[in-house]
Structure 1
Amino acid sequence: MPAPVIDIRAASKRYDGGPPALADLTLTVAAGEAVAVLGPSGSGKSTLLNLVAGLDRPSSGTVTVDGLRIDELSESGSAKYRRAKIGMVFQFFNLLDDLTVADNVLLPAQLVGMDRAEARARAAELLEYLGVDRHARAYPGRLSGGERQRVAVARALVNRPALLLADEPTGALDTASGEDVRELLTGLNRDGQTILLVTHDLALAESCASRTIELVDGHIVRDSQAVAR
């Protein structure tokens, strides 16, 4: 049986001696799963995402992603891990307004030293696949919210990450754009992309996640498989 993409064992996280943000949490995510993490504010959702992203370390326990123990990495090692192993999609897109759409997508490929021609071909492929290739030379400020999120997804996928992390990817979008992004993430998962998303959007969780986890006070209180889509 192949190793899971995410393998968290007995991970706890405390900040400044307060109550645990995560408490002895164990979680595995297999290749090809789309897992939605739900829960009220303060439940530990962001902490979980930060541990998987290598932006924070557990106070105890282990975090392994795609075979790499990321809780043991140095700061520079964590940065290299994020560039090579994961793609990240944020609520507010985090695109660079002074770069064109194409250059925003190319940036992560340049940071890992991908061949220029290969990077341009990969970026063009993704922009076409995501339906925003006509905006390649435009600047992000001229795009709708849904279009900007599609560009952000292209940027996240340019290095072919083992894992796509999405933090409230529909949170800043209107209803129509949110539906657009839900369909996009569903399609990516059907094409084999492993996804971990944190969301308050129940429609997003129900439509694109093959599995839903609910956190309360740092504990997993529900872990359920979706009905086959």
Structure 2
Amino acid sequence: MTAPLIQISDVSKRYDDGPPALDSLTLRIDTGEAVAVLGASGSGKSTLLNLIAGLDRPTAGSVTVDGVRVDGLGEAASAKYRRARIGMVFQFFNLVDDLTVHDNVLLPAQLAGVPRSEATARADELLERLGVRRHAKAFPGRLSGGERQRVAVARALMNRPSLLLADEPTGALDTASGREVRDLLTALHREGQTLVLVTHDVTLAQECATRTLELVDGRLSRDVRHGLAEKASTVGGAR
């Protein structure tokens, strides 16, 4: 059996003296999976995502991603790990308002020390592929919510991460924009991108994920594997 992309082993996370945000969680996620993590507010979804991203550390247990013991990394090594292996998409986009769309997408490559010509070519490719190249010189505030989320996805893919993490990627979008982002994520997974999505959006989970996890009070209460419905996706030329 090949090694998992993500191995969560007996992980617990406590904040102060309250109940555990995660409670003795063990979980394996393989390369190529699209996993949706569901649960009520306070169930531990965002905590799980933060531990995988190296933004937080467990109180107990271990987190290994793509062969890296994430829970043992220092601050500098953790930042390097995220630049090299993780792409992150947030509910409210987290774009830099005073940078153009093109410069927002370039940012991860610049931080990673990628040569300017190579990074520019990659940014142009992603903006074209995701259907927002015409906005390259615009500032994020001029774009619709769906367009901003497409730019955020382009930025997340800039350094060709082995894992794309998305925290409520449709949560701030209207119905039409949410549909566009769902189609985009589905297309990316069909191309082989491993996804972990934290969401309240049941439709997102049904349409994008090959596996659904449900957390209740920091514990895994449901783990269901299922196939994606066969359908063509033409959004942004992302196929």
TM class by shorter chain equals over 0.9
Residues 31/99 of structure 1: CA separation in 2 closer, same or farther (3 Å cut): same
Alignment-derived partner of residue 120 in structure 1? 120
| Cα distance in 2, alignment partners of residues 207 and 140 from structure 1 | 28
Alignment-derived partner of residue 212 in structure 1? 212
Q: CA RMSD in A?
A: 0.8
Local SS of the residue matching 1:40: coil
Number of residues of Structure 1 aligned to a counterpart in Structure 2: 229
Local SS of the residue matching 1:10: strand
Alignment-derived partner of residue 12 in structure 2? 12
CA deviations 1:11-61 (Å, max 9, x no partner) are 011111221110110111111111000000110001101100101101111
Alignment-derived partner of residue 167 in structure 1? 167
CA deviations 1:76-122 (Å, max 9, x no partner) are 11111111110000000011111110000000000000011110011
Q: How does 1:140-159 map to 2 (within 5 A)?
A: 140-159=140-159
**Residue identity matched to 1:166:** A
Alignment-derived partner of residue 182 in structure 1? 182
Uncovered stretches (5+) of structure 2, i.e. residues with no partner:
230-239
| Cα distance in 2, alignment partners of residues 102 and 224 from structure 1 | 39
In the alignment, is the contact (CA less than 8 A) between 2:208 and 2:228 conserved in 1? no
Percent identity of equivalent pairs: 73
State the shift of 1:228 in Å.
4.0
State the shift of 1:227 in Å.
3.2
Q: How does 1:31-110 map to 2 (within 5 A)?
A: 31-110=31-110
**Residue identity matched to 1:124:** D
CA deviations 1:175-204 (Å, max 9, x no partner) are 000000000000000000000010000000
TM-score (normalised: structure 2): 0.94
Query: Which deviates the most, 1-10 or 109-118?
Result: 1-10
Local SS of the residue matching 1:170: coil
Uncovered stretches (5+) of structure 1, i.e. residues with no partner:
none
**Residue identity matched to 1:69:** R
